[in-house]
Structure 1
């Protein structure tokens, strides 16, 4: 059986070509490893796994980045914003709210409670 080392979060980066011009997600994904290393998040109990995805199904507002287990989805992620996400969200536990467009389990903006 394979074994998995413990990790605290998993970051998915869309590297496809539909949500950004020039496949900007590739630069974000490439920078992520060095950012995780610089901030001590590659090993140990605070380890963060990273994966690239050819498409996360949003196809606009990219580069798209999703952080789990929280299920926080960011839009418009640049290399500079990825550094903020690593420091503020992954290291310090504060979501970079102004770039969040979706949260797992949150109602969509058009979902309103019933008035019955």
Structure 2
């Protein structure tokens, strides 16, 4: 029971994965990160990943702390980080990784240590 005048508790639909896209100007001075982030929404919709048990959340980040390697995209809960993400690679990330569950190994530059999960 909430106290009178208390703010309601937030609610979030369940989701399977969370994708973070670096939109900072050090990684992508031509604002490629923003274009990748925008395209991600359309690809998630096309692949049926916006609702239901396979739902994927997306967030833009002003800096993911890498500041090199082109557009950086991180996928959680796996903790897989991709560098140099282009529109073509983004398409593969959505279809192969987010939808089919296969990490695109040749594009991975970092993984969350299994000891930290």
Q: Give 1 or 2 for the bigger CA radius of gyration.
A: 2
Residue segments in structure 2 that go unaligned for 5+ positions in a row: 1-8
- TM-score w.r.t. the length of structure 2 is 0.88
Query: Which residue, 10, 20, 30 being the options, matches 1:22?
Result: 30
Following the alignment from structure 1 to structure 2, what is the Cα–Cα distance between the partners of residues 11 and 95?
A: 13
Following the alignment from structure 2 to structure 1, what is the Cα–Cα distance between the partners of residues 11 and 88?
A: 34
Query: Which residue, 45, 50, 53 being the options, matches 1:42?
Result: 50
Which residue matches 2:106?
Answer: 98
CA deviation after TM superposition for structure 1 residue 21, in Å:
3.1
Task: Give the count of matched residue pairs.
Answer: 107
- TM-score w.r.t. the length of structure 1 is 0.89
List structure 1 runs of 4+ shifted beyond 2 angstroms.
none
Residue segments in structure 1 that go unaligned for 5+ positions in a row: 108-116
User: What's the Cα RMSD here?
Assistant: 1.2
